[in-house]
Structure 1
Amino acid sequence: MEVHPLLGQLDKLLAEEGELVGRGPLALPHQGISPGMRDGSAHVLRCLKVWFELPTDVFHTATANIDTFLAKMKAQPKHLSCIAVAAFHLACNQYKMEFGCSVPDPQTLVNISQSRCSASDLTRMEGILAAKLGDQTIPALPVTCLSFIRSMWEICRAASDRLEISPTLPSLPQHLLHQLEILVCDSSTMKVRSCELALALLCTEFQRIAGSEKTAVSAALMGFITELQKYCGISTKEFIISHTLVLGILDKYNGDSQVPHRQRLVWKLSNRTLKHLRPTDKLRPTLPRISEESLDRSAAGRFRSASECSLESLSDSDNCRTACSDSESDMEMEEPRTWAKIVATN
């Protein structure tokens, strides 16, 4: 594989990147949609991508649509969920126009995402997004950090084959695409260029492959990063800031045991479905109170077998509600007297 045609593709991406309007800062908190709200919507879109088994291009296109729209228009927080699902549906149509894929039905998308909007609202919002993002009914796919990391990876593969570096680089790893989605879900990455973010992530991957030992392979991989940095016009200071940012986000994601953005899903079920889902609704929610008479019998030396206990439990199932109606305070009041009785019998 020749390197020069791949460099031409990278030149095209750099020319199309330009000054991305959607990479500007979001509104401050309490003054519209905050960066945290945007990150929550991005995580929801990532879940929708997995749910509908769509390629990662759809997710990156959808987040780019949201960022570009929020940079141009002022929106209220209550409209963000509708904007997010509309941007996702528009991204599906954009990808279908270029490569072809299945587009979810608007009503199904609304039901799964629980965005509290109707299918007509989604369609109307999608038209507004398309009008603000371009002159066409369905805008072309935007240039994202996914485009850059694919181009840079292929350039490094071609260069390693040309230099006969062993082992050769495989196709773009899936875990690298996963990490790139995590980075895009963080609004702090919006202050860096797409090519900077892609190159910083590529650098972390090459550092992992090279390991701690300084070999010819590690020197060659780091040399690729240096040449790409110069080719993209990224200064050393900017690259260090981007690389530190990428490492911080990935470390936080890998070390965080709690989910930072969790969507509360409310499922509406019929009574018939609830009966099938709750076969134990007639069982006792708590254990019945042990009376003092049973303690007297147990102190006298009579112990019931397991079969007796089971039969008695089944016979008392009709009186379940009566036995369970006692409050916890009543049980606590009788507890000292019960222990006093046990001590007296002993």
Structure 2
Amino acid sequence: MLKYKKKTKSASDISRTITKINISQLDSKNSADQKQQQVIISGFIEISLYKSPHHYNGRCQRLCSKEDRTWKERVFNQTKLDEVNSSQRNHASVWLRKIAASMNFGIDTYALSVDLLDRFLATLKVRPKFLECLAVGCLYIAAKCKEEDDTISITPEFVIDCNATCSANELLRMERLVLEKFDWFIDFVTAIDFLQIYFALLLLKVENQAEENNEKAIVEKYIDLEIKLASCLQHHRLASFKPRILALALVSLEFEKQQAQESEMNTDWLASITFLQELANVESDALLSCRDLIVRLLPSYKVVRLELSDLTFISHAYKPLKPLMNLSDRPTYADVVCGRTFPLVQ
């Protein structure tokens, strides 16, 4: 079993605890995993609400700098039969999610395994018959990087736990091949890393979040975001976005959805998202494109309000639908960025 140096976290880093969440404790409407597995393992961060925002600002900027140095564009095969295509990649990522959950691995482990898989597919041409072994190898490497040693089975047992058809020797050879291809550097930035920072910064901006009665709601909201982010990583088109963009698009959609459901909010959601966008240096066009793609691909976002401008063709044919489109006069993020709405003058 190969041994390599794990990432060491300093005292200033956000600590991570593995929390087992029973399926029955989660809202069935928000959990994308209930139909796939019986237990969700979620990596939850302990956030100190009394830390200075500069701490998280600096950490976010360091992650952005690291992402710029290590990011690799992903162009997935669509036509070649002798090479892993986008559909096969998506199937492998869904399978990895189930296996990671069955082994009680955190979603950060799953995110890193998918990132390694995508990087390898973007670097080398892989035949479909080797995809399973490659996926298991990426999960094995990610687990060694993110999980505690006593939670990882030895190689033969790991293959059995994954219900994989490859042998232990094949897994070890694949593990070495992946590590050598990346020069033994696997500490890549994932969307989970940015989600943690964004969530911590937003908590600092929301009033009364430090109260104990809101502690459970904060945990549930973060777990819900993790689950949805894991679902995003199953789609190759969403995985093609940089982690900072994908995480911010998901957070902005959640804030907009919360604004539409609640009559009053304790914070200015648009100002908060704009602050994160400027901090992470995310372009508006890329953010809007990612948001639109999430809405189309994730079933949980089918309820997000459509804009009247997006339904021009429908409204011409069905006049009675027009009053329904005006039930909410609150601007969306897309409205403000595209200049379709202006603040009211009081």
TM over 0.5: yes
* Separation (CA, whole Å) in 2 of partners of 1:83 and 1:71: 13
Matched residue type, 1:248:
R
Please state if 1:70 is matched with 2:118.
no
Matched residue type, 1:29:
T
Q: Which has the higher helix share?
A: 1
Q: Does the CA contact (< 8 Å) of 1:21 and 1:71 recur in 2?
A: no
* Aligned counterpart for 1:229 among listed residues 263, 277, 297: 277
- Structure-2 change in CA distance of 1:93 and 1:213 (3 Å): closer
Please state if 1:7 is matched with 2:57.
yes
- Structure-2 change in CA distance of 1:216 and 1:60 (3 Å): closer
* Separation (CA, whole Å) in 2 of partners of 1:87 and 1:104: 15
* Separation (CA, whole Å) in 1 of partners of 2:273 and 2:94: 30
Matched ranges for 1:1-346 at <5 A: 1=50, 2-18=52-68, 20-31=70-81, 32-96=83-147, 102-134=151-183, 136=184, 139-161=185-207, 170-171=218-219, 173-212=222-261, 215-217=264-266, 220-251=268-299
Aligned identity (percent) is: 20
- CA offsets per residue over residues 238-295 of structure 1, 9 Å max, x none? 111111111112127989xxxxxxxxxxxxxxxxxxxxxxxxxxxxxxxxxxxxxxxx
* Separation (CA, whole Å) in 2 of partners of 1:213 and 1:115: 46
- Structure-2 change in CA distance of 1:167 and 1:51 (3 Å): closer
Q: Any stretches of 5+ residues in structure 2 without a counterpart?
A: 1-49, 304-346
* Separation (CA, whole Å) in 1 of partners of 2:74 and 2:271: 31
* Separation (CA, whole Å) in 1 of partners of 2:137 and 2:58: 34
Q: Does the CA contact (< 8 Å) of 1:92 and 1:101 recur in 2?
A: no
The CA RMSD over aligned residues, in Å, is 2.7
* Separation (CA, whole Å) in 1 of partners of 2:54 and 2:208: 12
* Separation (CA, whole Å) in 2 of partners of 1:7 and 1:161: 19
* Separation (CA, whole Å) in 2 of partners of 1:151 and 1:101: 28
Q: Any stretches of 5+ residues in structure 1 without a counterpart?
A: 256-346
* Separation (CA, whole Å) in 2 of partners of 1:85 and 1:140: 15
| TM-score, with length taken from structure 2 | 0.66
Aligned length: 249
| TM-score, with length taken from structure 1 | 0.66
* Separation (CA, whole Å) in 2 of partners of 1:17 and 1:81: 27
Q: Which has the higher strand share?
A: 2
Q: Does the CA contact (< 8 Å) of 2:199 and 2:222 recur in 1?
A: no
Larger radius of gyration: 1
Query: Relative contact order (C-alpha < 8 Å, sep 6+): which is higher?
Result: 2
